[in-house]
């Protein structure tokens, strides 16, 4: 008999997705925010937790869980004095951490090698139930291309897990639509001083591609994803390794390019495309030859002096003076006035 069955796999997926273990207890944070606070969904979610999830814990690990709601979150936790030692041993068996916020230090390589069939699907469903979003704002620019977005907090700094998870899903037949990495070259490509770039990771799949292999265990999400799938008209992406990349927009050298918030693998490096991260981080599905072409022409894609467009006139002039004094000391800044109507005639502006 396998040590990890599909029920245990689902529980362990929940913990990896949003669990925090502190010695002999844990909390699983279902970050549902407004979506999970709507009355109809609240009833379905509560039923799932009190029946399905509670039953799973009881039958697999011989203790019960309860839940609390606060600040837009649903918190699942064991009742007092529960023995979670068997659960921690199963995490260790899959090479997963047994303390702290698991998502920050999880490495999926052992789990991928030991889980098969329905156990794999159940483990991933646990991660999806905690991390996958169906929020309207994630659906590209139109309902014709609805996506499932797997949201991973930037605070985890776990670039490796993002690549492992996306690569695993690709191996199983779901084709990535796009990835956003928690890096200034993606969240602040044209503004080298923007401090709000730490917006986290997003692995996006068009809904139909997601549903060919997976779904959610929580009924509320399963119902919603089935509804939005009916709107999809956009064709699926071709496999990553076969993609031809469009000419990217130039990226600026951000002031946080060398931030300690970035792991050493991506620190103090420029990236021109999300596949560039995938290639550097060793994803076997990355279109390496396409990335090599971009890197070969790197000088075309680096914007050393991005157009200044934010701030007051005084602030912009001060920034220009700093650039001039550091890089062009032999030149002077000249100014001239122009009518807006005249500028509009020149589309290059």
Among 188, 201, 207, 186, smallest CA distance to 139 is for 207
Residue 299 has pLDDT above 60, yes or no: yes
Residues 6+ apart with CB under 8 A from 318: none
What integer pLDDT is reported at residue 337 of this predicted model? 81
Q: CB neighbours (10 Å) of residue 12?
A: 27
* Per-residue model confidence (pLDDT) at position 139: 45
pLDDT tier for residue 50 given thresholds of 50, 70 and 90:
confident
**Token pair 């959610």 in the structure block, residue:** 216
Percentage of the chain exceeding pLDDT 90: 57
Query: What are the pLDDT digits (tens) for 58-114?
Result: 999 999 999 999 888 899 999 988 999 999 999 999 999 999 999 999 999 999 999
User: What is the residue-averaged pLDDT of the chain?
Assistant: 88
103 and 153 Cβ atoms separated by less than 8 Å:
yes
Q: How many angstroms separate the CA atoms of 12 and 89, rounded? A: 11
Q: What is the pLDDT of residue 65?
A: 95
70, 74, 77, 79: CA torsion to nearest 10? 70
pLDDT at 101: 97
Q: Which of 110, 174, 114, 116 is nearest to 148 (CA)?
A: 174
Higher-pLDDT residue of 304, 84: 84
pLDDT band at 142 (very low <50, low <70, confident <90, very high): low
- pLDDT band at residue 155 using 50, 70 and 90 as cut-offs: very high
Residue 125 · residue 72 · CB < 8 Å: no
**What are the CA-CA distances from residue 184 to residues 50, 163, 165, 261, 267 (Å)?**
42, 18, 22, 11, 10
Residue 31 has pLDDT above 50, yes or no: yes
- Domains parsed from the chain with CATH numbers: 1-96 (3.10.28), 311-345 (no CATH)
What are the residues whose beta carbons fall under 8 Å from the beta carbon of 42, sequence distance 6 or more?
36
A 10 A CB-CB count for 137 gives 7
CA-to-CA distance for 90 and 12, rounded, in angstroms?
8
Q: The tokens of 188 are what?
A: 């602040």
pLDDT, position 345:
66
Q: Rounded mean pLDDT of 219-235?
A: 71
Lowest pLDDT segment from 115-124, 148-157, 289-298, 337-346: 337-346
pLDDT for the residue numbered 143: 62
- Weakest mean pLDDT among 263-267, 280-284, 344-348: 344-348
The arithmetic mean of pLDDT across residues 256-266, rounded, is 94
Distance from C-alpha of 156 to C-alpha of 179, rounded to nearest angstrom: 16
Q: Are strands 201-206 and 178-180 parallel, antiparallel or unpaired?
A: antiparallel
pLDDT score of 141 more than 50: no
Whether residue 318 is predicted with pLDDT greater than 70 in this model: the reply is yes
Half-sphere exposure of 255 (CA within 13 A, CB side): 7
Unique residue bearing structure tokens 């509320």? 220
């Amino acid at each position: 008999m396998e040590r990890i069955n599909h029920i245990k796999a689902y529980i362990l997926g929940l913990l990896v997705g949003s669990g925090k273990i502190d010695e002999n207890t844990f909390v699983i944070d279902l970050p549902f925010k407004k979506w999970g606070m709507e009355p109809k969904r609240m009833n379905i979610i509560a039923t799932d937790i009190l029946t399905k999830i509670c039953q799973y814990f009881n039958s697999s690990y011989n203790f019960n869980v309860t839940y609390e709601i606060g600040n837009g979150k649903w918190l699942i936790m064991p009742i007092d004095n529960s023995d979670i030692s068997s659960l921690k041993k199963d995490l260790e068996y899959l090479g997963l951490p047994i303390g702290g916020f698991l998502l920050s230090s999880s490495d999926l390589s052992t789990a991928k090698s030991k889980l098969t069939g329905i156990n794999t699907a159940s483990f991933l469903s646990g991660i999806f139930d905690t991390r996958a979003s169906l929020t309207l704002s994630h659906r590209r620019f139109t309902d014709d291309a609805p996506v499932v977005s797997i949201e991973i907090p930037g605070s985890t700094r776990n670039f490796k897990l993002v690549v492992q998870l996306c690569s695993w899903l690709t191996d199983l037949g779901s084709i990535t639509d796009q990835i956003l990495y928690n890096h200034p070259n993606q969240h602040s490509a044209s503004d080298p001083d923007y401090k709000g770039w730490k917006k986290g990771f997003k692995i996006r799949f068009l809904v139909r591609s997601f549903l060919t292999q997976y779904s959610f265990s929580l009924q509320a999400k399963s119902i919603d994803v089935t509804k939005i799938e009916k709107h999809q008209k956009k064709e699926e992406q071709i496999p990553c390794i076969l993609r031809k990349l469009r000419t990217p927009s130039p990226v600026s050298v951000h002031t946080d390019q060398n931030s300690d918030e970035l792991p050493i693998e991506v620190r103090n490096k420029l990236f021109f495309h999300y596949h560039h991260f995938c290639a550097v981080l060793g994803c076997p599905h990355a279109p390496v030859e396409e990335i090599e072409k971009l890197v070969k022409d790197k000088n075309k894609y680096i914007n050393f002096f991005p157009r200044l467009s934010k701030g007051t006139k005084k602030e912009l002039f001060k920034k220009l003076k700093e650039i001039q004094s550091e890089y062009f000391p032999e030149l002077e800044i000249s100014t001239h006035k122009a009518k807006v109507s005249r500028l509009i005639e020149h589309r290059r502006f």
